[in-house]
Copies of this chain bind each other. A is one copy, B any other.
Amino acid sequence: MPKINLAAIQQTNRTGYPVPFAAAVYGRWVRKLGPDSGLADFGVSHVVLKPGAASSQRHWHEDEDEFVVVLSGQAVLVEDDGRVAMQPGDMAAFPKGEPNGHHLVNESDGDCELLAFGRVPTGDAHYPDIDLRWSRGGYQRKDGSAF
């Protein structure tokens, strides 16, 4: 059956961010829809942001296009140009290589549900606000030192 049964898909708030950058996403609950569905061309994540949670640390990818759509609730998209409210049905695109750090933050008092699309990146990701980078398959400080 092609219709997605969300309740049957495991939901996790796991993150690979090193402390202290992890706390911002503890309220981010993710279901990866691709594996059970058999999708391989791109990844789809169903994300619930609890009040106060961010979709990620603000970042941009050298080699991964990303796309998000809000399904329910409210979020604020934060990027280099400022802040913009995101309502249900609102969408945003983040083309790879565009050095505009972005994330969504749930500043409301209810859940925010969104879908995020992308592909597994192999290149670097950059975090303009914090001493973090993703490179060579792992997180390091910006000077390359390990956590």
Contact = CB atoms under 8 A, between A and B. Distances in A.
B38 A41 contact: no
A63 B62 CA distance: 26
A38 B93 contact: yes
The count of identical subunits is: 2
Interface string A90-113: 111111101010100000000001
Interface in A1-26: 1-4, 6
A84 interface: yes
A34 to B, nearest CB: 8
A141 interface: no
B33 A91 contact: yes
A117 interface: yes
